[in-house]
Amino acid sequence: MDLYYSIVSPPCQTVLLVAKKLGITFNLKETNPHLPEVRENLKKINPQHTIPTLVDDGHVIYESYAIVIYLIEKYGKDDSLYPKDPKVRSVVNQRLFFDNGLLFRSTIEHVECLVRKTRQMTDEIGAKLKKALGLLESYVTERQFAAADHLTIADICLLSNVTTLGMMQYDLEPYPGIKGLAS
């Protein structure tokens, strides 16, 4: 399987972590989709020209959640990472949608302000991230893991964003549950 990725990308980190948990190895293709020539080549297999992109025996999958669900369903030895029980899976999905819709977006906005300097840090951007982190803190305070009584893909996806914030030296002291998730 070929995985087009960048190690600094939280969604790519998620795919790599799930693969490691499943014992899967990839033919890794380090990719920078911001370079025009790379974007054009990637567009040949992925019309969104985004990473991560997985090619498994000619089958192309992009979007990290779709990739990790595919990997678990095809290569997982059990359903612990993505439980089949509808009630448990609904909470896992809820946390995945929370991650995609709020935490990841807030994290990336914060990173863009600090690293890329493509926009100014505003009180609104800071407040969105604090709101997302407050919600995540409540999830991991309710139980040891974000969605179930054991590790699921929700934890791995959320961890990738928390790790990014840690690399940016974001102050996670007010969030002891999140700090515990990252350790």
Q: Which residues are catalytic?
A: 9
| Rg of the chain in Å (alpha carbons) | 17
Amino acid identity for residue 123 in this structure: D
Distance from C-alpha of 154 to C-alpha of 130, rounded to nearest angstrom: 19
Quick one: CA dihedral 75, 65, 83, 155, positive or negative? positive
Host H or E run for residue 4: strand 2-5
Q: List CB contacts of 179: < 8 A, sequence separation 6 or more.
A: 172, 173
3-state SS string for 59-90 = EEEECHHHHHHHHHHHHCCCCCCCCCCHHHHH
Give the max Cα distance, the chain: 47
